[in-house]
Chains A and B, each alone.
Chain A
């Protein structure tokens, strides 16, 4: 089992601020996925990163996969209240999730 640690566990910021959340492991992942989950719903896939050092952008979200493929980060620029949710990382083949970062963006 490949364990994923996410930090911070909770994050509360004001609208317009930037933030970065992290997903770390001692294991190497062939690929890693980021999801966002809103209350009462299933997780929604945001991105899959595959190549070490890869950077993917999704509007105001920037995802980076570490060179050694053991860690990843998600950076949100100018956060909005609609970004509020639980952000989860998971190994694409392992199907197990990290503990998640619960983000609250206040208007």
Chain B
């Protein structure tokens, strides 16, 4: 089946650091990639929708200058958390979508900011 690889799976860094998370679709070309954030014991919250070659569409309340999304190819999207602070600590999950197929999820990145 379709596989989405997310890297890194776990990262710890100091406050003020910028962190980049990669999301790759390994065996298909993703028209669209989605980025979600999940706090402990809560559901996934959609942060942004990313289409290849165009600017991401951010959900209301999500700071686009804080969470930079780049979707340079049909198989790779990146989320950069800029100047991360402890409140940015969370579980970030990406998914990739071909269109008439269900979206396929990565295994998530656990980000801890000290």
- Residue numbers of A with Cβ under 8 A of B are 33, 37, 40-45, 48, 86, 88, 92, 95-100, 102
Contacts and interface: CB of A to CB of B under 8 A. Distances in A.
The main secondary structure of chain B at its interface with chain A is strand
Contacts, number: 44
26 contacts: A33-B102, A40-B110, A41-B108, A42-B4, A42-B95, A42-B105, A42-B106, A42-B108, A43-B93, A43-B105, A48-B102, A86-B43, A88-B43, A92-B102, A95-B34, A95-B46, A95-B95, A95-B97, A95-B103, A96-B46, A97-B36, A97-B44, A98-B43, A99-B42, A99-B43, A100-B43
Nearest to A37: B44
Given A40-B110, A42-B93, A95-B49, A88 B102 contact: no
A68 B58 CA distance: 31
A96 B60 CA distance: 13
B107 interface: yes
B34 A42 contact: no
Interface in B31-56: 34, 36, 41-46, 49
Nearest to A88: B43
Given A40-B108, A96-B46, 9 more contacts: A40-B107, A40-B110, A42-B4, A42-B108, A44-B105, A92-B102, A95-B46, A95-B49, A97-B43
